[in-house]
Amino acid sequence: MLKDTHASEVEAILAHYPADQKRSAAMPLLYLAQRAYGHLTSAAIEEVAGLIDVSSTQVGSLVGFYTLYHDHPGGKVRMQICTDLPCALRGAEVFAKAVCTNLGIRVGETTPDGWITVEEVTCLAGCDKAPLFQVQDADGIHYREGQTVETAMAWIDELRRSRTDG
């Protein structure tokens, strides 16, 4: 349970909000649960709901509404490529297609080895450094900007090498 395994983090999150407004902690606690469990199972949702005294239906609705929460398992790493208009004008759609071809998957799919899920996302506020993608994994979310197909594939190879114990 998070309140045992991540006690100090749960406490720190709750301390950001007035004592009678614990519901505000729902989103940060969902992030914590997602990082701890990989994705948000119904048990994880119930656990978060219990920490802030709201129904699991209410917490579950957040998981469906916000795109950075996942109720299904994906690859160890989610590679989220922006293909919105400003990035598309600078080649992001071609980039996304080429990355997928190299990985042998389509957008939304996970590589057979379970490593990479490729997703298309809306604007990441990095339009001047397109093509770019963000990496969502157990560590959080990090940007990789100014990419080419070659740099992206080299990063994926390096990732697989360095985290083979993952």
Interface residues with another protein (CB under 8 A) are 16-18, 21, 23-28, 30-31, 52, 54, 58, 61-62, 65-69, 84-86, 88-90, 121-130, 134, 140-143
Nearer to another protein, 26 or 116 (CB): 26
Q: How far is the CB of 134 from another protein (least distance, A)?
A: 6
- Phi-psi category of residue 102: left, alpha or beta, with phi > 0 → left and psi -120 to 50 → alpha: alpha
Min CB(135)–another protein separation in Å: 10
Nearer to another protein, 65 or 161 (CB): 65
Q: In this complex, which beta carbon is closest to another protein, that of residue 88 or of residue 165?
A: 88
- Identify the CA nearest to 48 among candidates 28, 68, 64: 28
Q: How far is the CB of 110 from another protein (least distance, A)?
A: 19
Nearest one of 1, 16, 17 to 50, comparing CA atoms: 1
CB of 113 to another protein, least distance (A): 25
β-pairing verdict for 116-121 and 133-137: unpaired
- In total, the chain counts a number of residues equal to 166
Instruction: Report which residue type is found at 92.
Output: A
Report in angstroms how near the CB of residue 36 gets to another protein at its nearest: 16
Q: Which is nearer to another protein, 12 or 43 (CB)?
A: 12
Cβ atoms within 10 A of the Cβ of 69, count?
18
**Cα–Cα distance measured from residue 123 to residue 33, given in angstroms and rounded to the nearest whole number:** 26
